[in-house]
Amino acid sequence: MQKPISVSRLTQVIKNTLELSFSDISVEGEISNYKEHSSGHRYFTLKDANAQISCTMWKGRYLNFLPKDGMKAVVSGSLTVYPPRGNYQIDVSSMLPAGQGDLYLAYEALKAKLSESGYFDESRKKALPAIPLSIGISTSPTGAAVQDMLTTIERRFPKCTVYFRPTLVQGEGSAEDIVRAIEALEQTDAEVIIIGRGGGSIEDLWSYNTEIVANAIYNATKPIISAVGHETDFTIADFVADRRAATPTAAAELVTPYLLEDIEKDLLQQAIFLHKMLKNHIISKKNEIGTSFGKHISKIVRDKIRQQMQLLDTTDIAGKKILAAKIQASKDKLDYFQKLLSSLHPLSPLSRGFAVLRSNGEIIKTDSPISNYTKLEILRKIDTAVVKVEKIYPPDLFMVS
């Protein structure tokens, strides 16, 4: 007969064996008894028809949906043992709905929660500027959405300045990057911000159905237009945003309601109208003076009247010159801003043969050494290449004196 061991020793052996053997697991099951403690920790049971297991998800671990009892989910983490009670449980590091049906349930649960909290109220939504001269855009730098928006804005109102923040729009970390993009564009001179992407499945669009993105839109000080997916796609971001556009192109049209040529035409018509009013006023005053004094007025008075008439004529001519100069100056200023916009366009270097380096969805800055990366994406105007960094050369190795 073996020598007996203590309960603590046995539990420790079990703990070491289980935690070593099940350090990285994924388990699918139905959520039951879900509770979020005031501390921020989450406790629930994952079960199927024949068994169940306790789960703990500690505060600070990100969730991109609102779990509910009865919802199927896939949890990832490790198996741990709690010695004081001799229980084993899953230490959950991440959790996702198990299927599209459960994604929809999570979507509806968050939608109901935010609606009840007033996130969708029209009374809190900000009006869009009538003619914005600066626009912020958050979307993927490689998708069709950014090209559609930039092309539309350039065609309709080329004098507008665009602040473009390349953004991860799907996959791990994309929701957090969308939040950072909104915060970055809030710091620019943009008068309105567009967040969006092209169409996709509910999984592809899921980052725009997260609570942290909803909070970022809700707390933004500048009006935000949500342009996510196609016309039939609706996300939580659409409901929280100040305006929803059916597509990214529609969003670009929404922020450029007046064409540049129409504005120039209106200015010219206003100038003609003002000049006509001034001319009629001068003629009226001339007639009034002639009627009041008649032909028998003394020569001195007639001379003074003629001087005033001449002054009015001179004023008319000078007014025309000043008005024409102001119109020309306005056109020159518009041309200057158009050239400046073209030179500062975030994608213009790609048209001149340059390329952009990116790693894991983040643009590599000039002061970031290439030695920090093992794999790079090289973005050119016509294509994107994925390369492996094998050797680093000094910066002056290929310089020609």
What is the per-residue pLDDT for 398?
Answer: 47
Strands 42-47 and 243-244: unpaired
What is the model's pTM? 0.51
Cβ(166)–Cβ(203) below 8 Å: no
Specify whether 167 is located in the same domain as 236: yes
Tell me whether residue 107 is in a domain.
no
CA distance 359 to 378: 9
Q: What is the CATH number of the domain that holds 235?
A: 3.40.50.10550
CA distances from residue 388 to 28, 168, 247, 358 in whole angstroms, order as listed: 36, 21, 36, 12
131/208 same-domain check: yes
**Residue 41: CA count within 13 A, CB half-sphere:** 6
* Selection from 337, 303, 43 nearest residue 189 by Cα: 337
162 and 278 fall within a common domain = no
Q: Examine the domain organization and report whether 207 and 237 are in the same domain.
A: yes
DSSP one-letter string for 138-202: EE-SSSHHHHHHHHHHHHH-TT-EEEEEE---SSTTHHHHHHHHHHHHHTSS-SEEEEEE----T
Same domain, yes or no: 160 and 209: yes
Residue 327 lies in a domain: yes
On whether residue 295 sits in a domain, the answer given is: yes
pLDDT, averaged per 10 consecutive residues of the chain (401 residues), comes to 80 83 88 87 87 90 81 90 86 84 80 93 92 92 90 87 94 93 95 91 86 95 92 88 92 81 66 76 73 60 74 76 79 77 67 80 81 84 84 62 39
198 and 312: one domain? no
Task: Flag whether 105 is in a domain.
Answer: no
Q: How far apart are the C-alpha atoms of 148 and 158, rounded to whole Å?
A: 14
Where is the domain boundary, 214, 239, 254?
254
Looking at the fold, whether 268 and 193 belong to one and the same domain comes out as no
DSSP 258: S
Residue 193 lies in a domain: yes
Residues 246 and 127 in one domain: yes
The answer to whether 379 and 347 have CB atoms below 8 angstroms apart is no
Average pLDDT of every residue of the chain: 83
The amino acid at residue 215 is N
Whether 129 and 226 map to the same domain: the answer is yes
> 264 has which bridge partners?
none
Q: For residues 229 and 325, state if they share a domain.
A: no
- Taking CA atoms, 201 is separated from 96, 174, 230, 238, in Å, by 16, 15, 11, 16
Domain count, the chain: 4
Statement to judge: residues 236 and 268 lie in one domain: no
Q: What is the CATH number of the domain that holds 39?
A: 2.40.50.140
Domain that residue 328 falls in: 260-344
Q: Tell me how far apart the alpha carbons of residues 26 and 49 are, in angstroms, rounded to a whole number.
A: 18
Read off the pLDDT of residues 302-356 as tens digits, 9 standing for 90 and up. 677 777 777 777 777 877 788 777 788 778 777 777 777 766 666 667 777 788 8
Two tokens, residue 344: 């500062």
Residue 113, in any domain of the structure: no
Asked, for residue 12, whether it belongs to a domain, the answer is yes
Closest alpha carbon to 345 in 146, 191, 199: 146
CA distance 105 to 99: 10
The answer as to whether 86 is a domain residue is: yes
Q: Are residues 233 and 129 in the same domain?
A: yes
CA distance from start to end of the chain: 87
Give the closest residue to 252 by CA, choosing from 369, 153, 353, 117.
153
The residue from 254, 273, 294 where one domain ends is 254
pLDDT of residue 345: 64
